[in-house]
Structure 1
Amino acid sequence: MTEPEWRTIVEWQLVRPGGPQVLPAVELPGRLWADEPRPLQEALLRACQVDAVLLKALSEKEDSETGVRHLTLLGAHRDDFADGHAPEWYTPGSFDASGTSGATPGGGRSGEAPWARPGWIHRVTRWLAGALPPGVTVTGPAEQVRIWDLSCVLRVPTSDGDVFVKSAADSPLFVDEGAVVTVLHRHFPGQVPAPLAHDPGARLLAMRPFPPEIGHQAPLDVHAEVLGAYGRFQAATSGVTAELIAAGCGERTLPWLADQLSTWAAALDHTVVPPGADPASWLDEEEARAIRSAVPGLLSAVERLSAYGLPDCAVHGDFHLANVARADGGFVYFDWTDAGVGHPFLDLVTLYWQPNPAALDAYLAAWTAHAPPDRLREAWELAEPLVAVNQAISYAAIVSVLPPDGDATLKPMIARWLRRLLTLRS
């Protein structure tokens, strides 16, 4: 089925000061998702004359045979709750995809993102207005560029051009991105977003605009160019690891990974589903036993890898071409919420989704000051299964704080990466 044959039916439930409001369904051509809400908001404005802020997606379903997607969205009138406070009756968990509300007074559920509460967008806009340089003012309403369980990105017009504001979920994996980006930008301007302001308590980061992402569909030669440049960038960050740790970067060193293997991986069981993970796709008994049996060999790989002498450096944690932009003859690496300090090769996630020998060669060439090419390739062979383990550990932290109705694409990821590990070892 081609893309133009799809259609998307959107149902909005609105939080109003006096209670909930359910709007008539709006149908749009194409296959649309809630995480990029602008076309959905524009369609609602045309059909119902309602300028809505999206709070969260309550439901996203599709039928590939009929080519129909159904979205149920929770929102609020943009002009409501300008004081930044939600109504007393409202709780995010009181709404569901059936259009019902059993609201009771009180706060949100565990795992609910701050942007899921009415008034949040007004509070953030006021914060930005107070954080802008002297003489710069906010000149219009904030636009939601991206919104999902893990983060929300706003574009806010100012008298000095657009400013992007990002907020990240409260996760044991995520760092104070503003503090980390400030360190990286001080040493490597032009290679990370330019921060304007950040609020650690509210997990807010205001940034100057940067060019669009390169994206997953980039040609293989671009993929190789990016990985070569990123390897050189990482190598240069080995001199600022103390500053990055002081800024709150998590630990992803080989000793840390060995500890995780000895505790977390060695205890995996098919009868114990990690918090937030999808039970239906969790490991079966044979898979869990295979993971536990693999731990001694993985610990040996960690020890052998450490002997190659590659320095700890900045690790992005979610490095792929949708988190990279081309600018001024180089690249901008963005979305540092998962940042850590650790072994550089743990960042080569992109090679799992897009195998590219030339890209691997370009990346390894950035490290020849530390070892000859044949030794670097040996080191990568040791590191490759460890990348899968590292990703599984990261997703365990991510899904542990999702709300019960959180993003369904994230919940199977622990098991998916562990199965990838078993495939690599087979």
Structure 2
Amino acid sequence: MIDLPARWSSDAWRAELEVWLLPAIEATGRVVTGELVQERVRFWSTVLSIETDQGKVWVKENAPSQAFEAALAQAVEAIAPGTVAPIVALEPSRGWLATADLGMPLWHDDTMPPPSEWLPMARQFASAQRALAAHEDALLATGLSRFPKEPDDVVAWVERLLAELVHLPDEDPRRPSATEADGIRDGLGRVRDAAATLVASGLPDSLQHNDLHLGNAFRLGDGAAFIDLGDALWTHPLTVARIPVWILRGRRELPADHPDLVALTDAFLEPWTDLADLDTLRGLMPAADRISCLHRAESWRRLIADVPLECVDERFRRSVTEWLIDATAPDPFSSATSH
């Protein structure tokens, strides 16, 4: 483990980045016209920008467990052009990814975009998933992780993670209480059933963005380009719908059967209707919602393991435990409303 924020704030690291970045940008025919500006440093990544005569270029480095994003973006773009922000340069061995500026994301302030803005994003990403499903080897070769799919394997994954958490020192905030641990164990049957439902669906695995929302999407031509693939997993495709659907449901306080939620969900399902009818696909969504909570737990697990605990913002230190609680709760959505 290393103090990544300290590293990313150091002159030595910045010098290493510049030695690669400046020639890489100029090799594309761009002329650098400004200084490299560090826009933000979080324990999971840092993002910088630099002005050129052809517009701003953004560059990102992820924590080690998610450094595959650069290679993954390149692979996705090769298979489904226009899915990710235009790549200017990348250095997969360091996880460095430089992309062209696309302006403001589709969600960039406190005003949540209307449901109509979410539908094109959902359709485009789901269509990309359908195209990517046939390229498992290429995507896994980037370092993307495959999440367990067989019911016994999924349950065993939860049990192993829970065992790690309950053996942490009492004072460690990641350690679940006895009541929380018992609740997670009591909900393992729900996890098993959900995993079995998804396996039985027969849908091929594909790319699960695992943080898909309009804040990670930019208008590009008639569609949208996506960023922040570091949380991604290779798994059941319908699990990608949970984050946008839950955001819309929670922020607008909508009932689960509200027409806007149905329309958004259906947008994720439409590319798969040649494999199953729409009603059948809709019936998979409760299982996909539940398993997707484990995907969030996995993303936080690996990120928190990358750094000393004191580098992790306090509000994120219990994220793994909270997502396990949600995944095993009678109603994952109601459980998750508190975080």
TM-score by length of 2: 0.83
Alignment CA distance shift 1:191-1:347 (3 Å):
same
Q: Do residues 353 (structure 1) and 247 (structure 2) align?
A: yes
Give yes or no for contact 1:181–1:336 (8 Å, CA) kept in 2.
yes
2:295 corresponds to: 390
Runs of 4+ off more than 6 Å: none
Tell me which of 135, 160, 163 is aligned to 2:57.
Answer: 163
Q: Do residues 243 (structure 1) and 138 (structure 2) align?
A: yes
Tell me which of 308, 326, 336 is aligned to 1:420.
Answer: 326
2:116 corresponds to: 221
Tell me which of 127, 136, 150 is aligned to 2:44.
Answer: 150
User: Quick one: distance in 1 between partners of 2:304 and 2:164?
Assistant: 17
User: Quick one: distance in 1 between partners of 2:168 and 2:295?
Assistant: 16
Alignment CA distance shift 1:144-1:269 (3 Å):
same
Question: What is the CA-CA distance between 1:383 and the residue it aligns to?
Answer: 1.8
Which one has more relative contact order, counting CA pairs under 8 Å at least 6 apart?
2
2:284 corresponds to: 379
Give the alignment of 1:83-232 within 5 angstroms.
110-113=2-5, 114-132=7-25, 133=27, 135-171=29-65, 174-215=66-107, 217-232=112-127
1:343 corresponds to: 236
**Structure 1: segments with no counterpart, 5+ residues:** 1-108
Alignment CA distance shift 1:165-1:271 (3 Å):
closer
TM-score by length of 1: 0.67
Question: What is the CA-CA distance between 1:134 and the residue it aligns to?
Answer: 6.0
Which has the larger Rg? 1
For 1:129, the aligned partner's letter is: L
Alignment CA distance shift 1:253-1:324 (3 Å):
farther
Residues 219-228 or 130-139, more deviating:
130-139
Alignment CA distance shift 1:225-1:119 (3 Å):
same
Give yes or no for contact 1:267–1:292 (8 Å, CA) kept in 2.
no
Q: Which has the higher strand share?
A: 1
Q: Do residues 407 (structure 1) and 301 (structure 2) align?
A: no
Give yes or no for contact 2:173–2:317 (8 Å, CA) kept in 1.
no
Give yes or no for contact 1:178–1:204 (8 Å, CA) kept in 2.
yes
For 1:248, the aligned partner's letter is: G
Give yes or no for contact 1:214–1:325 (8 Å, CA) kept in 2.
yes
Question: What is the CA-CA distance between 1:135 and the residue it aligns to?
Answer: 5.0
SS at match of 1:167: strand
For 2:331, the aligned partner's letter is: L
Q: Cα RMSD between the aligned structures?
A: 2.7
**Structure 2: segments with no counterpart, 5+ residues:** 250-260
Give yes or no for contact 1:274–1:396 (8 Å, CA) kept in 2.
no
Give yes or no for contact 1:274–1:400 (8 Å, CA) kept in 2.
no
Give yes or no for contact 1:164–1:209 (8 Å, CA) kept in 2.
yes
User: Quick one: distance in 2 between partners of 1:368 and 1:154?
Assistant: 41
**Number of aligned residues:** 314
SS at match of 1:375: helix
Question: What is the CA-CA distance between 1:281 and the residue it aligns to?
Answer: 7.0
User: Quick one: distance in 1 between partners of 2:168 and 2:269?
Assistant: 35
Q: Do residues 294 (structure 1) and 187 (structure 2) align?
A: yes
Alignment CA distance shift 1:253-1:285 (3 Å):
closer
Alignment CA distance shift 1:272-1:116 (3 Å):
farther
Q: Percent identity?
A: 26
Question: What is the CA-CA distance between 1:258 and the residue it aligns to?
Answer: 4.6
2:206 corresponds to: 313
User: Quick one: distance in 2 between partners of 1:326 and 1:138?
Assistant: 25
User: Quick one: distance in 1 between partners of 2:79 and 2:264?
Assistant: 26
Alignment CA distance shift 1:370-1:166 (3 Å):
same
